[in-house]
Homo-oligomer: A and B are copies of this chain.
Amino acid sequence: MPKPNPRHPNFPIPGGLELRAKGWRQEALLRLLENVLSVGEDPENLIVYAALGKAARNWAAHDAIVRTLKSMDEDQTLIIQSGKPVGLLKTHDKAPLVIMANCNIVGQWAKAEYFYELQEKGLICWGGLTAGAWQYIGSQGVIQGTYEIFMRIAEKRFGGSLEGRFILTAGLGGMGGAQPLAGRMAGAAILVVDIDPERVAKRKAIGFLDAVAPDLDTALQMIDAAVSEKRAVSIGLVGNAADIYPQIVKRGTVPDIVSDQTSAHDLVYGYVPKGMSLEEVRRLRTEGQGQLMAASRASIADHVRAMLTLQEKGAEVFDNGNLIRTQAREGGVANAFDIPIFTEAYLRPLFARAIGPFRWMALSGEESDIARIDDLVLELFPDNHIVTNWIRLARENIPFEGLPARIAWLGHGERTQLALGVNELVAKGELAGPVAFSRDHLDAGAMAHPNIMTENMKDGSDAIADWPLINAMTMCSSMADLVVIHSGGGGYAGYMTSAGVTIVADGTAAAAERIAHAITNDTSLGIIRYADAGYDEAIEAAEEHGVPHIKLDAS
């Protein structure tokens, strides 16, 4: 039975054991679609997160998807083009149930302005990284991502701990809202600036933010106190980051860590330029896109100049994947890329071993299923410090949203082992229902994004998009249940291509076969991509695990 959803009463949280489709595979995908709406930012408009990231093109498209998932057979494949179902083909029982391509635009046309045009014509919609693929699990995914970044910085610069350290960042939206909780979980004192009082209030209300400061002075005093007591705390402040960051510079305060997660990637629907009210910005979104883009770019330039100054003064400053450096460079900040990207700076050695954000969702809706799987993870991987630490922290700190779910940074072999173990638990009746597995698109072999994921690759292959396409084609050939190729929309248009995959563990032998093929090939490709680029970690991992990487004879 679905559960009521206080946040969005029209979008109940799926659950229970009643099938509305012809099998659990189809039912699972239907529930995942329902789930991304139930945890989404603005489900009435099909928006899941990141300003424009949608679960389906429009309501007619959504309804046709739901109808088809309910009626289709296991040897059919539903084809979805940018959120709109276009065909239901006869395939076979080892083929995916759903194939999607979202927001892919031919290179020379892949620009924000053109994307908006196509969107207005109703011809395209952006799927974000997990909205259009029905894989979003609420804030948890990005909480761990941000937490792991903080912990890698702790290891690199602060003796393994962020106790008594000050983190400054901005943005309390769908993703950025995870920052205060991640910072507190990492033991730091974190200050997060957002221009929108409603967003700030919301993060406080759902327990992601400890306190809201009335002004910058008070905020810095609260931070100072926490730092000297080595007390973890998260403080919110209403303000424009392009004002606040320079003010902090002026006061001579230097935080230990500085980042930003405003929607800087989108100069129209995301970023709010300084000196403008939210109302003014909302009006310009329809009436003055050009003016708004110019103002946003200028404001981001100031914002990033302040970040660069703090970097010079010794802060650990990084770009957290919102294209802020790219926008700043276009706004005239020639050295914006002196700020490193988080992937290259902290996470690449993990990705090179195909360790990345893997996740699972309890389709029954029962939280106890996740608890049981948490135990299994701790049993299976007692020596994996990152994962055991995270599972313990997450259990204590992270409220479930929508379908109960968990994320954990697992690698090649581990992911397959866990998913097979879960499938067995389903078979033995130790879980209330089937479980769906997916991973972030930002995963080893699955994303080309030269300003985020693949910046400064060792061999210079940053912009080569063959890899995510190979990943998606391989997943279609490896019994995955849902496969998707996404490219960027809005300000991300032309900046990325990525692939996503979902696999359903319903306790059958067929599911075990699917898991063994799809998950193993997915992480194999991750290792192969980095081995091909010359990363030692990947070359070693390939040997260690017998990954079938082809090496050429020296020519």
In contact, A550 and B77 (Cβ under 8 angstroms)? no
Are B77 and A548 interface neighbours, CB within 8 A? no
> Do A118 and B60 touch (CB < 8 A)?
no
User: CA–CA, A123 to B449, complex, Å?
Assistant: 16
Q: How many residues of A contact B (CB 8 A)?
A: 84
Identify which of B87, B485, B553 contacts A64 (C-beta below 8 A).
Answer: B553
The answer to whether B517 touches A106, judged by C-beta atoms less than 8 angstroms apart, is no
Q: What 1/0 mask marks residues of chain A from 84 to 128 whose CB sits below 8 Å from any chain B CB? A: 111111111011100101111111111100100010010110000
> How long is the Cα–Cα vector from A478 to B76 in the complex, in angstroms?
10
Which of B87, B470, B495 is close to A549, meaning CB atoms less than 8 Å apart? Answer: B87
- A493 close to chain B: CB less than 8 A: yes
Taken together as a complex, chains A and B put the C-alpha atoms of A123 and B464 apart, in Å, by 8
| Distance between Cα atoms of A64 and B550 in the complex (Å) | 8
Query: Are A485 and B469 CB-contacts (below 8 A) given A477-B99, A524-B87?
Result: yes
Which residues from B are CB-within-8-Å of A463?
A: 105-106, 109-110, 114, 118
Q: Which of B124, B450, B521 contacts A464 (CB 8 A)?
A: B124
Q: How far is the CA of A236 from the CA of B64 in the complex (A)?
A: 57
A474 to chain B minimum Cβ distance, whole angstroms, is 6
Residues of B within 8 A of A111 (CB): 107-108
Complex CA gap A104/B472 in Å reads 14
Map CB proximity to B onto A159-184 as digits: 1 under 8 Å, 0 otherwise: 00000000000000000000000000
**Choice from B60, B61, B85 contacting A554 with Cβ under 8 Å:** B60
- CB-CB < 8 A to A58: which residues of B? 555
Interface presence of A460 (CB below 8 A): yes
Q: Determine how close the nearest CB of chain B comes to the CB of A113; give it in whole angstroms.
A: 12
B123 close to A459 (CB less than 8 A): yes
Chain B nearest CB from A443 CB (Å) reads: 17
Tell me how far the C-beta of A334 lies from the nearest C-beta in chain B, rounded to whole angstroms: 18
A82 located at the interface, meaning its Cβ lies under 8 Å from any Cβ of chain B in the complex: yes
Q: Can you tell how many copies of this chain the complex includes?
A: 2
Known contacts A90-B521, A91-B478, A464-B82; decide if A108 and B110 are in contact (CB<8 Å). Answer: yes
Q: A121-B459, A478-B89 are in contact. Are A109 and B466 (CB under 8 A)?
A: no
The yes or no answer to A401 lying at the interface (CB within 8 A) is no
Does the CB pair B550–A495 fall under 8 Å?
Answer: no
Q: A461 on the interface (CB 8 Å rule)?
A: yes
Nearest-CB distance from A220 to chain B (Å)?
A: 39
Q: Say yes or no: B466 contacts A469, CB within 8 Å.
A: no
CB-based contact B95/A477 at 8 Å: yes
CA distance A114 to B467 in the complex (A): 18
Given contacts A450-B109, A495-B107, contact A472 B469 (CB under 8 A): yes
Interface residues of A in 58-91 (CB under 8 A from B): 58-61, 63-64, 68, 77, 79, 81-82, 84-91
From 539 to 553 in chain A, residues with beta carbon under 8 angstroms from any chain B beta carbon are 547-550, 552-553
Do B495 and A81 have beta carbons less than 8 Å apart?
A: no
Cβ A118 vs Cβ B460 within 8 A? yes
Q: A86-B549, A105-B107, A524-B89 are in contact. Are A79 and B464 (CB under 8 A)?
A: no
Contact A104 B495 (CB under 8 A): no
With contact pairs A86-B550, A478-B91, A478-B95 given, residues A106 and B461 touching in the complex (Cβ less than 8 Å): no
Known: A123-B459, A495-B106, A555-B58. A99 touches B474 (CB 8 A): yes
How far apart are A341's CB and chain B's nearest CB, in angstroms?
15
Q: Is A324's beta carbon under 8 Å from chain B?
A: no
Task: Look across to chain B and name the residue whose beta carbon is closest to the beta carbon of A542.
Answer: B87
Residues B477 and A96 in contact, CB atoms below 8 Å apart: yes
- A512 CB, min distance to chain B CBs, angstroms: 14
Q: Please, what's the 1-or-0 string for A465-508, where 1 marks a CB less than 8 Å from any CB in chain B?
A: 11101101110111100010101000001111100000000000
Q: Which of A418-471 contact B (CB under 8 A)?
A: 448-450, 459-467, 469-470
Interface positions, chain A 509-555, Cβ under 8 Å from B, are 517, 520-521, 524-525, 528, 532, 547-550, 552-555
Min CB distance A445 to B, Å, is 10
Give Cα A237 to B282, complex, Å.
Answer: 63
- Residues of A in contact with B (beta carbons under 8 Å apart): 58-61, 63-64, 68, 77, 79, 81-82, 84-92, 94-96, 99, 101-111, 114, 118, 121, 123-124, 448-450, 459-467, 469-470, 472-474, 476-479, 483, 485, 487, 493-497, 517, 520-521, 524-525, 528, 532, 547-550, 552-555
Task: Given A60-B555, A86-B549, output 14 extra A-B contacts at Cβ < 8 Å.
Answer: A85-B552, A88-B548, A89-B474, A89-B524, A90-B517, A106-B107, A106-B465, A106-B496, A107-B111, A107-B487, A118-B461, A123-B464, A473-B473, A473-B483
A-B contact pairs, 13 of them (CB 8 A): A64-B552, A85-B550, A89-B525, A90-B520, A91-B477, A95-B478, A99-B477, A101-B469, A102-B466, A108-B494, A118-B463, A124-B466, A465-B487
Closest 5 CB pairs of A and B: A107-B110, A107-B494, A109-B463, A101-B466, A95-B477
